[in-house]
Structure 1
Amino acid sequence: MRRLGIHSFVWTGGQTQDGLEMALEKSAACGYRTIEFAYLRPEKFDLDRLARRARSLDVEIGVTMGLPREADISSQDETLVRRGEELLANAVKAVRDIGGNKLGGILYSAHTKYNSMPTERGWKNSVAAIAKTAEVAKSAGVDLVLEVVNRFETNLLNTTAQGLKFIEETGSDHVLLHLDTFHMNIEEASPAAAIRLAGDKLGYFHIGESNRGYLGDGVIDFDLIFDALLDINYQRDIVFESFSSAVVDEGLSLACAIWRDTWTDNQPLAVHAKQFIELKYVEAQRRRATCARP
């Protein structure tokens, strides 16, 4: 892996400048070298100040988001699609302005539980909009990574295979996949096989437990996950993501169905996650070395 990171929602709901700066400082103090923020609206936050603070701490910034219903680029309504394209272009510029290196998340549809099947026209609208956004992102020096999530948070991309088909249709070499163990555990027959299928199209990776809490306290087999990451020679960032109603803001709690406190003290959670990921990575390397011996 390139850098080990943590989602800012472990530390803060992300509503204030002070909260974001605190998240940067606590992440750095725990040894994380990248942080993931939710979409930072330039009119609400001092992006220059955040960028300077991140540089001083040697912490890189990535940003993820989901589109709202009123800016759904997978809609058949061209007004909503144009609105979504504008929102994505502005998000790319905000990532650039904060000195960030990637924009990820549910960029291809609304972040919501749909009550209808996706349509062919909606798929094509989304593909075309992401292709346009990829050009904006490429010019800005920002990676564009599409998060494949579970059926309750989008109706468009629920599996790695769907994600690969989608990015192929964009015709862009600047669109990659963003996979997440929490979502793969729900949707993939074999998360490890899904990672291998993604191969060099995997551009960003989330580590999260099946219950959104402490790593190792759920049902995900992380040995298989790390073996697969080594098999594809994954060299990009790995970011720990965990949500609890103790911290996450109301909007995300509703979108992700965070109805309870999966934890209440974030400091030990963050320390444990870093140790757990590093241990699993080393164990996978040892297994590989053992298997390679004659």
Structure 2
Amino acid sequence: MPLTITLGVSTWLWTSPFKTDDAAELFAKVKRMGFDKIEIAVEDPSLIDVKEVKSELANNGLDAILCGAFGSTRDLTNDDESLRNSGMDYISRCLDIAVELGAGFFAGPMYSAVGKARMVPPQQRELEWSRAVENLHTVCERAAERRLRIALEPLNRFESDLVNNVTDLTRMIAEIDHPAAGICLDMFHMNIEEPDPERAIRMAGDKLLHIQVAENYRGTPGSGNASWEKYYRGLEAIGYTGTVSIESFTPENQELAAAVCIWRNLAESQDAFASDGHEFLRKWATGKTNIL
């Protein structure tokens, strides 16, 4: 049976940080390629005129997904209270944007700062875990007040020492103990951390709100060695009806490329990355075995 999903693509594939001036041209291009959703990566909320972006979404018949960027100054687990507060304030601003743009959730690894991968004593790890749980419960309350959910994303071991896989995340969500807490799975990180992606997706179950995809080397879907059949079977088993969104990054932005360690072009062009990826995903979602 075909998957009942929509296809999306991240603004990070072309630009960083996303700003209002990017919207008209980028949204029109994404729609021409056949996508139904645009995943807007909010690095700096002050760069986004929400009314204008919302207008461009409507002009191009696109729906928005919102994800966040969690650098060292937005760290809900940090010993420095000012950095924890900075993270909470940023999340609240993103939740407000999500409401205005009609996104039903806000996604990202918001439990800690990206790139925070250290060997620390167990007591410190437990302290940071507890801070994440406590602060994310508050985040969930703020999301629920806005009729939103959050989609927490595990990161691979080179980018986080706190939450690396679905097992980690389901434990954290159980401790957060709030219905607004959900899951975002990123295929790139899963290809490193999950021995069996089908099992991981089944474990996420009805808490899975969003899935991001790219190949094992963060390249165009269908061009690498990711276990696409297992991802299909997992999503089919849980009756997933959300969005499958291409997420990778442009090497043209040197700061972003350095942050995610992309030292070469991963496709002929970023447009080719998106359009070829869309074509593969469209066929993959039909479940026809000759595509896999």
| TM-score normalised over the length of structure 2 | 0.90
Structure 1 residue runs without a partner (length 5+): 288-294
Deviations 1:11-56 (A, max 9, x none): 3334542223322111111111111111164432221010011022
Q: What is the CA–CA distance in structure 1 between the aligned matches of 2:276 and 2:67, rounded to whole Å?
A: 23
Larger displacement relative to structure 2 (212-221 or 260-269): 260-269
Larger displacement relative to structure 2 (150-159 or 236-245): 236-245
**Are 1:239 and 2:245 counterparts?**
yes
Letter in 1 for 2:220: Y
Letter in 2 for 1:243: F
Q: What is the CA–CA distance in structure 2 between the aligned matches of 1:22 and 1:170, rounded to whole Å?
A: 40
Structure scoring higher RCO (CA < 8 A, sep ≥ 6) equals: 2
Partner of 2:267: 263
Mapping of residues 32-47 of structure 1, within 5 Å: 32-39=35-42, 41-47=44-50
Q: Quote how far apart the aligned CAs of 1:175 are.
A: 0.8
Partner of 1:29: 32
Letter in 1 for 2:29: K
Partner of 1:77: 80
Q: What is the CA–CA distance in structure 1 between the aligned matches of 2:209 and 2:117, rounded to whole Å?
A: 26
2:18 touches 2:41 (CA, 8 Å); kept in 1? no
Q: What is the CA–CA distance in structure 2 between the aligned matches of 1:197 and 1:236, rounded to whole Å?
A: 16
1:72 touches 1:84 (CA, 8 Å); kept in 2? yes
Q: What is the CA–CA distance in structure 2 between the aligned matches of 1:41 and 1:96, rounded to whole Å?
A: 17
Letter in 1 for 2:94: A
SS for the counterpart of 2:91 is helix
SS for the counterpart of 2:56 is helix
Q: Quote how far apart the aligned CAs of 1:284 are.
A: 5.4
Q: Quote how far apart the aligned CAs of 1:8 are.
A: 1.2
Larger displacement relative to structure 2 (158-167 or 95-104): 95-104
Deviations 1:206-230 (A, max 9, x none): 1110111122221101011111110
Partner of 1:203: 209
Q: What is the CA–CA distance in structure 2 between the aligned matches of 1:67 and 1:244, rounded to whole Å?
A: 18
Partner of 2:125: 119
SS for the counterpart of 2:67 is strand
Deviations 1:242-265 (A, max 9, x none): 22413xx33332221112111242
**Are 1:273 and 2:277 counterparts?**
yes
Q: What is the CA–CA distance in structure 1 between the aligned matches of 2:54 and 2:187, rounded to whole Å?
A: 29
Q: What is the CA–CA distance in structure 2 between the aligned matches of 1:189 and 1:10, rounded to whole Å?
A: 27
Q: What is the CA–CA distance in structure 1 between the aligned matches of 2:147 and 2:139, rounded to whole Å?
A: 12
Partner of 1:134: 140
Q: What is the CA–CA distance in structure 2 between the aligned matches of 1:29 and 1:256, rounded to whole Å?
A: 28
Q: What is the CA–CA distance in structure 2 between the aligned matches of 1:15 and 1:278, rounded to whole Å?
A: 26
Structure 2 residue runs without a partner (length 5+): none
Q: Quote how far apart the aligned CAs of 1:80 are.
A: 2.4
Letter in 1 for 2:82: T
Q: What is the CA–CA distance in structure 1 between the aligned matches of 2:31 and 2:268, rounded to whole Å?
A: 20
Letter in 1 for 2:126: E
**Are 1:226 and 2:232 counterparts?**
yes
Letter in 2 for 1:69: S
Letter in 1 for 2:278: K
Letter in 2 for 1:185: N
Q: Which one of the candidate residues 144, 165, 174 is aligned to 2:171?
A: 165
Q: What is the CA–CA distance in structure 2 between the aligned matches of 1:234 and 1:77, rounded to whole Å?
A: 39
Q: What is the CA–CA distance in structure 1 between the aligned matches of 2:244 and 2:100, rounded to whole Å?
A: 23
Q: What is the CA–CA distance in structure 1 between the aligned matches of 2:9 and 2:251, rounded to whole Å?
A: 17
Partner of 1:292: none
| TM-score normalised over the length of structure 1 | 0.90
| Identical amino acids, percent of aligned pairs | 26
Partner of 2:192: 186
Q: What is the CA–CA distance in structure 2 between the aligned matches of 1:154 and 1:66, rounded to whole Å?
A: 14
Q: Quote how far apart the aligned CAs of 1:113 are.
A: 4.0
